[in-house]
Chains A and B, each alone.
Chain A
Amino acid sequence: MPTVNVVRDRLFADLGRTYTQEEFEELCFSFGIELDDVTTDEAISRKERHEEEKANENEDIVYKIEVPANRYDLLCLEGLAQALRIFNKQDETPTYSVANISKESMHKMRVKPETSSIRPYIVCAVLRDITFDEASYNSFIDLQDKLHQNICRRRTLVAIGTHDLDTLQGPFTYEALPPQDINFIPLKQVKKYRADELMEFYRENDLKLKKFLHIIEKSPLFPVIYDSNRTVLSLPPIINGAHSAITLKTKNVFIECTATDLTKAKIVLNTMVTTFSAYCKKKFEVEPVEVIYSDGKSYIYPDLSAYNMEVPLSYITGSIGVSLKADEVTSLLNRMQLKAEQSVLGADQCNINVTVPPTRSDVLHPCDVMEDVAIAYGYNSIPKRRLPSLKPLALNQLEDLIRVEVAMNGFTEVLTWILCSYRENFSMLNKKDDGSTAVIVGNPRSSDFEAVRTSLMPGALKIVGHNKDHPKPIKIFEVGDVVHLDESKDVGAANRRLLAALYCGTNSGFELIHSLVDRVMEVMGTPFVPVGDNSGYYIQCSDAPEFLQGRQASIIYKGKRIGIFGIVHPEVLSNFDVPDPCSFLELDIQSFL
């Protein structure tokens, strides 16, 4: 995206008010440009010279503003300020006109047929009775530079030459000659150069111009513009002649754009003349120039005619998703420099007639108009409409992620039954039933289905008991629900999702289960913190009957006890017919949500 540097205070003067940086950023944001950097010209040049001097307090603040790549009208302060003024409803879009002068009194540019082999097009215009000050003069030069860099594709497509008309004598000719035959004093030089020598000179001595030499250097003929006295105006796209150089005092500016792309040449010319005609005595009026080709065809430039577009209101509102009346749309469009009025076609159809000014070459299709309505309406004022989508089930998704993580730690997943015997849930775990935890089945067909588990431990131990011959160590895990009595629920009970992991080997494997706890916490992004700190998790000794005393601990997460791990109590092991030591972890993963 191109960046335009503007002096802040001049911009604010043009905008008729000052802004805080935040306010200005807000304005930029809503218009679709961006305040990229705040600096000073001096700071920029210091940076270019890699110097680290201190800033002078008197330096002018410069805003570097990023503008969209298709908005050539915003490439200088004048265009930018005007667009923002109109957007702020401080100004109306100007009507640009071509001065009404007779064909005879028009300046003429005759195009020689040889130019077709190297740079076939030229368009011209005159800014009459202009008054520059230093700032506008610099801006005039800068705009050419920006255009050259952007739409002109580094002068390959279009090159601009501006001249002090009063130093020249029309009619002009656009020719293509062998370089040896072209001889003139180029801009910023004092002596005459032959064009081929000039190319060599620039190749050696001018870093900036060097980059453009390739556009013509291989051609046997170089494009060149003369006035009737054979004064060289320019050697496009390289350099202008010194003779016709413009100055602060120049009153009448002759602009020529030579090109390989006629459409872009017209846009460039229009951008130059519309922007700077504001400084002419007859504001927004441009004097035309007739371009006459060797086949006799002639064209008058600039073409400042507006492009008219008829856009159905329903297309605009339908695409944006906001219902707007025709007059709302037209006033929104006016803020975007598009003159618009409604035309009613019948009871249920209304069109907006849009007049696209020559400054808005970016408007190609009704969708561009629609976009401008949306920008002026404010993207952030548009109501949000959600497309149908699926809601994820957080708990199940978390479970799936944790399951994979635990399996990656080398544990094998098991799925055990939710129902168990009453003894398995209590006495075999050394626990007493206080009647307030477990759901009890009223009509079990066998003792296997007496209670709904409140722990995943019985299932895990039963697996180990049934797999005595399996090579040790056994590392298994399960993520599953237990059910607790819960007075607050309609049915009086509620599920909780737990992660359980068990290690069984020739030794207890306590450290391994401990490291799994740390790993689960790590993947949950939970830091290990000192005891009492509620910002992460810590481990504290516990005293649960199903574990061996002094070999067990609670997991405290954000101040809440969410799990326990330890060496399974030998009596419990024996109850479940497990001959080898086991360590076991049980963790409430629902607590992470």
Chain B
Amino acid sequence: MAEEAILGYLENHEEISDSGEFAAARGIDHAEIVNVIKSLHGFRFVDAQDIKRETWVLTEEGKKYAAEGSPEVQLFLAVPAEGSISKDELQKKINPGIFKIGCAQAGKNKWVEMGKNISRKVQHVEDQVKDLLLRIQDDKAIGKDDINSLKARKLIVLQTWKGYSVRKGPNYAPKRKKPATDLTRENLQRGDWKELEFKEYNFSAKGPPPECGHLHPLNKVKDRLKDIFRQLNFEEMPTNRYVESSFWNFDALFQPQQHPARDSHDTFFLQVPSTTRQLPEDYVELVKQVHESGGYGSRGYAYEWKRDEANKNLLRTHTTAISSRMLYALAQHAKEQAFTPKRYFSIDRVFRNEAVDRTHLAEFHQIEGLVCDRGLTLSHLIGILEDFFSRLGMSKLRFKPAYNPYTEPSMEIFSYHEGFGKWVEIGNSGMFRPEMLRPMGFPEDVSVIAWGLSLERPTMILYGIDNIRDLFGHKVDLTLMKKNPLCLIGIR
């Protein structure tokens, strides 16, 4: 109603000069008019200018006197025209508040004689205060001194009145359609959706955050890598075995017992269970021989191989410990039945007794792939690496000769990183040594090519994380965990 009144009036008039008068003339509450003006102004239907007016209004006390007369007059009238009245008597006739103020004012005005008994000094008084109050109530002007005296008696206060003057705005229309914010079931039922004008969405703000679960970025990358391995016909190895013997972790891999990697400051050895209980004895004997005196065309390392060292339990330092078990089982199968070529992979936790820093943790995930077949060549290794890494988006590779106790040849894998503008090491690879494979029982023409890399490094590059502790472990920021995108390697 208020809105129609305003828009309707402006259709034929230039201006509503005073919203207060406008409201009063139409019997609409001014507060309602103000709300409508604000809303119309917001949508530029009208332009509104603030008007501020200060007016004197009666206080509660003032209102009371305007109605009942001022205390001094009330007191005066209670005093008999002739003679006098005792103070106590008078006090009984009017209420105590009025009495007190009335006495003070009537005395000041010299209307009555104050004392034990009270009597009139004049016979006739005018209630000027009441008149002034009524004038203010009727918005009529009164003199400055009167204002001050009423103000001093707290019968009037100054009130700031706010209103508007209103003109047509740039979007003015005689009638406003209120834009809808949403399509509701009621709209559909009523069929009024056809008439709806929608309020524009604010697309510069994001939508509210969804309530959902999240997968860990390392596992997202792991999932993709597993898929890539499967595309290449690789079978996953059961790597759920963290506690390993030195034998499978080192000795079976032809890693000599004095090798620095077997030092206690690189490897977690165990207090409980400290040693392994059981090893395949025939095979252990062959491993001992190949370490000590060689065989299969090798000179061996020529040292005294100690069983105690092999028995020492540790937390596996690489998943190649599992590979050595798997290859041993495959070789046994080959001896008993027939050799079956295999492609194996695993992605799982390994442990290094290292100091933790921005790039190193005592635990990380190793990705490992290996192919066991007849007639494999270094060229096959380079080929499969090219195939594997190009699926990760790293197609520019080159290989650096390196040393690894159980592979020969050994190659470090480098990829050209466009962002860094340089070659970065991304993994290690090689062909397993005959000193490792032959004691297992593989025929001479079977070889194994293998490679490994960490899961954390590519994940950090992929997700732009430069501190490994932000990615993995209990010091991660959960907010970061929730915001990481899909892993699209191998997809685009």
Contact = CB atoms under 8 A, between A and B. Distances in A.
B272 interface: yes
A273 interface: no
B478 A412 contact: yes
Contact of B272 (A395, A413, A440): A440
A407 B278 CA distance: 41
Those 3 A-B pairs whose CB atoms lie nearest each other, nearest first: A492-B273, A407-B213, A462-B474
A467 B477 contact: yes
Count class of interface residues, chain B: 35 or more
A443 B474 contact: no
A209 interface: no
A55 interface: no
B1 interface: no
A76 B349 CA distance: 69
B278 to A, nearest CB: 4
Given A443-B353, A466-B475, A412 B481 contact: yes
Interface string A459-483: 1001101110010001111000101
Contact of B243 (A409, A474, A492): A492
A392 B270 contact: no
Contacts, number: 161
A448 B216 CA distance: 23
Given A413-B216, A443-B269, A463-B474, 17 more contacts: A393-B238, A395-B240, A410-B211, A414-B476, A417-B362, A418-B351, A439-B272, A440-B270, A443-B265, A444-B268, A466-B475, A466-B476, A483-B242, A490-B278, A491-B276, A492-B243, A492-B273
Contacts of B211: 410
A413 B215 contact: yes
Contact of A390 (B235, B272, B277, B315): B235
Interface of B: 211-216, 218-219, 223, 230, 233-238, 240-245, 264-265, 268-279, 313, 315, 349, 351, 353-356, 361-363, 472-479, 481-482
B233 to A, nearest CB: 7
A491 B473 contact: no
B315 A485 contact: no
Contacts of B479: 470
Given A441-B268, A492-B276, A403 B219 contact: yes
Contacts of A417: 361-363, 472-474
B215 A418 contact: no
Most chain A Cβ neighbours within 10 Å, of B211, B233, B237, B273 = B273
Contacts of A475: 213
Given A413-B219, A419-B362, A474-B478, A442 B269 contact: yes
A440 B272 CA distance: 5
A445 interface: yes
Nearest to A470: B478
Contact of A448 (B237, B269, B362, B478): B362
Contacts of B363: 417-419
Given A395-B238, A414-B476, A493 B273 contact: yes
A408 interface: yes
19 contacts: A390-B230, A390-B234, A393-B238, A411-B213, A413-B219, A413-B481, A414-B216, A415-B219, A418-B242, A439-B243, A448-B362, A449-B362, A459-B474, A462-B474, A463-B476, A465-B474, A481-B349, A492-B313, A493-B242
Given A439-B243, A440-B272, A412 B214 contact: yes
Contacts of B219: 403, 413, 415
A445 B235 contact: no
A178 B242 CA distance: 94
A387 to B, nearest CB: 12
A495 B243 CA distance: 8
B474 A490 contact: no
Interface string A349-366: 000000000000000000
A412 B482 contact: yes
Given A407-B214, A440-B271, A495-B240, A419 B351 contact: yes
Interface in A374-406: 390-393, 395-396, 400, 403-404, 406
A442 B271 contact: yes
A336 B286 CA distance: 60
Given A395-B240, A415-B472, A491-B277, A407 B215 contact: yes
Nearest to B341: A388
A457 to B, nearest CB: 12
Contacts of B275: 492
Nearest to A478: B216
A452 interface: yes
A413 B270 contact: no
Most chain A Cβ neighbours within 10 Å, of B243, B313, B315 = B243
Given A390-B230, A445-B355, A495 B241 contact: yes
Contacts of B276: 490-492
Contacts of A393: 236-238
A440 B277 CA distance: 17
Nearest to A471: B479
Nearest to A497: B240
Most chain A Cβ neighbours within 10 Å, of B219, B349, B353, B474 = B474
Nearest to A480: B349
Given A412-B213, A449-B353, A438 B242 contact: no
A459 B472 CA distance: 11
